[in-house]
Structure 1
């Protein structure tokens, strides 16, 4: 063990030395925490069932184990992700050297390249797996759904990022109060879709929550970076968010789970309900209050090194973590009902087995990331086609080798 430990220590020391003094380690730490919560949550609730033809279908342990729903309060950290995103975008926007348009295009390219990469790889994989490896169509439908689902987040984040100049102006004029209209919009929409006249409301009404619901924490992040939220404001966010969260659960009977549960008529996350904003407010207040303490902790190279790795692989983690789980589940479907993989998530044993499989998912994600990282790197115009084709083929056949 001395070899790996020594190598990790050397890497940590190098990462610490190369980190600029002005780098806000607490922000990177919060981002890493929110990033890791995404695959952890998806891997814990992403169960499968196996039909008679060997096809995989989505299933959730929350359908059977409703008592596990409060765990989603911890694992649902998109509020922190948008908070940190707003904070970082404000600093980047303020330091920009070119025009607003150039800044926006540059940010959107960084988000778009990995999404195009994973989409292209799976477009290649689907016919290869079906006609080359004989993977059932039901399995491929389930797989494509799981891979595409997290990408909605990138699309929403891209739209909100493009609105950063407006968020900055709103913060300078209103401070932290700039987030209040967003909260109010979601509250009104929730009242209409869940109130006494809900039956008369159109089905698309809930979509009106999509942008303000996720923009709420982003706007708080912009105001935080703008120096408009201090400790007093942070305590108000924490206490107010917690009080609103409890009120919505106990008095208005919002669903307990922060993620969708199959068979349930209501969901908090797609699109976000007022409960999501209450949780985001409480999380944001706690993050602001703990910032200095977290920054001191991350002065330790052993803690800072994994934060650096996660931040450098942010989009790879978001785009490819479901592929890593499928790389284990699809081969297992040929064996039969494997506990924690292809067996129905309806027993306590399944939960323990899934926890045991998660290190394998993480290892597969590391392997896939090795091939997928070129899809995230900038491409010069002359070499765009060649590098894109090479990266797509490498990642595609790497995933194929793991899944077939």
Structure 2
């Protein structure tokens, strides 16, 4: 079955905008003593919170993920694969690069801590290198729930996303009015799960048969978002801003849910025109490598910020006009160009490692259905907990290596890898095994 170029484009587009958005709002200041701090642009220059409407594009990543997962799981079921076998394969595709990235960062943190680097500086750097990790445990959990979510989709179709949205709204009321923040953790699965579930509907043609459906989603979502911001308690920023309560991302709010629906509708409306453009091989040759490198770009995109900080701010070479001034914005252009060049170098340097991971993945991918998957589930549980912890506290809380999350991630990934490796060995000895 041929790949949908538009889905690959959405994945690449989402990652590129996330990277550019993080780079754009990252502000560095060198204090008189030489210490580098990172003031929060969205809090210091409040009008910049409107920029998050252009750069909060993660709904499209979950939408594209649901589209791809729905088709993948449907084909796996037809070939006789089990849920454990399918999930192990998809989880490993995510966990291998994440594990290598985390291992290298943790080694660097350990070396810096042993060398006596200032604990506050190291904690800030460790947080910057883990800030994107919030996405990983959510995506792993949605992947684990895909068989059940897809079964609900097959039975109830387009009624499932509104039902999930209604529960998410009820949870949000408890968070905002009832002051029960831990209940809000459910909205990470419910709100982003709506985008994921809409991906199933999109894959099966339930949203595209009538043009008014995506139009209603886009118009209704935008109107609801505007009302919740103008009349309700929610801020316009779609990225967490210190001191704002309620916020829209931690946990995802009713306003974020409206934004999910609006973006999904706009995505479906744009699909025919963008697909015609992607049919041009010259453009596709640009999009395809970006999509293939999306995880690498997502994981490593804050490393260029650290390189630029060391090269230009620690040395005092970088000009430092007032934060948010015209001169500061003008310097964003060379800032983005420098970071882009450094990231291109990082991706090129990581090429051999990426190819080695691809070989390892392919050697553990074929199976005839994973029947003894018990190590997979505790492995995934350890990974989700460890990644969540790293996302909240970073790679160097208090300037030290986070030993327990590091061990949890290593053990969890090893359990998933061993489970997949065992299934590959069994598949090699089973005549007529199904290879996917």
Under a length normalisation based on structure 2, what TM-score does the superposition of the two structures give? 0.76
Task: Determine whether 1:251 maps to 2:234.
Answer: no
d(CA) in 1 for partners of 2:144, 2:243: 35
2:262 aligned residue (282, 303, 310): 282
d(CA) in 2 for partners of 1:24, 1:358: 30
Specify the SS of the correspondent of 2:240: coil
Q: Which residue of 2 aligns with 1:59?
A: 39
**Are 1:171 and 1:226, in contact at CA under 8 Å, matched by a contact in 2?**
no
d(CA) in 2 for partners of 1:51, 1:205: 40
d(CA) in 1 for partners of 2:142, 2:274: 27
1:324 aligned residue (285, 304, 308): 304
d(CA) in 2 for partners of 1:153, 1:339: 34
1:351 aligned residue (329, 341, 351): 329
2:213 aligned residue (233, 241, 258): 233
2:57 aligned residue (72, 77, 82): 77
Q: Which residue of 2 aligns with 1:379?
A: 360
Q: Which residue of 2 aligns with 1:93?
A: 73
2:339 aligned residue (347, 361, 375): 361
Deviations 1:363-392 (A, max 9, x none): 111111223342552427999xxxxxxxxx
d(CA) in 2 for partners of 1:382, 1:295: 33
Specify the SS of the correspondent of 2:38: strand
**Are 2:233 and 2:246, in contact at CA under 8 Å, matched by a contact in 1?**
no
1:4-153 equivalences in 2 (<5 Å):
22-96=2-76, 97=79, 98-131=81-114, 135-153=117-135
d(CA) in 1 for partners of 2:343, 2:31: 27
Specify the SS of the correspondent of 2:29: strand
Q: Which residue of 1 aligns with 2:160?
A: 178
**Are 1:217 and 1:284, in contact at CA under 8 Å, matched by a contact in 2?**
yes
Specify the SS of the correspondent of 2:251: coil
Change (3 A) 1:175 1:381: closer
Deviations 1:89-130 (A, max 9, x none): 111112224322111100000011111111111111123345
Task: Give the gaps of 5 or more residues in structure 2.
Answer: 365-436
d(CA) in 2 for partners of 1:337, 1:82: 40
Task: Determine whether 1:269 maps to 2:254.
Answer: no
Specify the SS of the correspondent of 2:206: coil
Farther off after superposition, 367-376 or 100-109: 367-376
Deviations 1:130-184 (A, max 9, x none): 555x753332211110111101212211111121112211211221221112211
Change (3 A) 1:330 1:206: farther
d(CA) in 2 for partners of 1:167, 1:34: 23
Task: Determine whether 1:294 maps to 2:274.
Answer: yes
* Equivalences, count: 356
Aligned-pair distance for 1:339? 3.9
Task: Determine whether 1:191 maps to 2:191.
Answer: no
Q: Which residue of 2 aligns with 1:310?
A: 290
**Are 1:321 and 1:365, in contact at CA under 8 Å, matched by a contact in 2?**
yes
Change (3 A) 1:337 1:69: farther
Specify the SS of the correspondent of 2:331: helix
Task: Give the gaps of 5 or more residues in structure 1.
Answer: 1-19, 384-404
d(CA) in 1 for partners of 2:305, 2:64: 27
